[in-house]
Amino acid sequence: MIKLFVGLGNPGSEYEATRHNAGFWWVDALARDLKVNFAPERSYHGFAARATVHGQPVWLLEPQTFMNLSGKSVAALARFFKIAPEEILVVHDELDVVPGQAKLKFGGSHAGHNGLRDIHAQLGTGDYWRLRLGIGHPGVKSEVVNWVLKKPLKEQREAIDDAVARTLHAVPALLAGEMEKATLLIHTSKPPRPKPPRREPGDDGTPAAT
């Protein structure tokens, strides 16, 4: 089962709405669902919250170390509470997934993500779970840094928020350790279809010329 949910992002109001903070958005939503509040925890270098689900403690964590030192926070809490890497889910922004989609995976490389890179180093392994929230790619590698540190367009943010809401439905399975079920829920959930245009009385549905 997952005992520690980590959302990755950068601290400070100037980064709050940027693409790199998608992990924070997800864990904030989970905290609301579980009706818990984050509090600063100096020992874990971040904001942490604890919930009890079916008699078991569950931790939520938002490292406040800046992205490239996220592992310092994750490892501190995991080691103190003896949480194994395979019991950790890290939620982060993903360039190679489009906004509105999400992917669950176990292990693998950090693929250049600085937050994952440091978590790998601090845990000494890449064998933990990741929930990859799509933010899309700018199309040019040289623009990646500016892309992740900027706010998404309105429709992109709405798509990411939809993905957050949908993937939260997998939390009971994650908590129960039913990882195949959780993967199926996350990977088969589809963005809502756009609503058809409203027809006025007498409209035959043919678009007007523009």
Distance of CA 4 to the CA centre of its chain: 13
Query: Strand pairing partners for 4?
Result: 59, 88
The question of whether 169 is a catalytic residue gets the answer no
CA distances from 18 to 59, 77, 151 (A): 24, 26, 4
CA 9 to CA 15: how far, in whole Å?
8
CA 122 to CA 69: how far, in whole Å?
9
CA distances from 39 to 21, 47, 57, 66, 121 (A): 18, 5, 16, 17, 26
CA distances from 174 to 31, 181, 182 (A): 15, 8, 6
Catalytic one among 20, 92, 113, 120?
Answer: 20
Output the CA angle 149-16-188, nearest 5 degrees.
80
Residue 168 Rama label (left phi>0; alpha psi -120 to 50; beta)? alpha
Residues labelled as active-site residues: 20
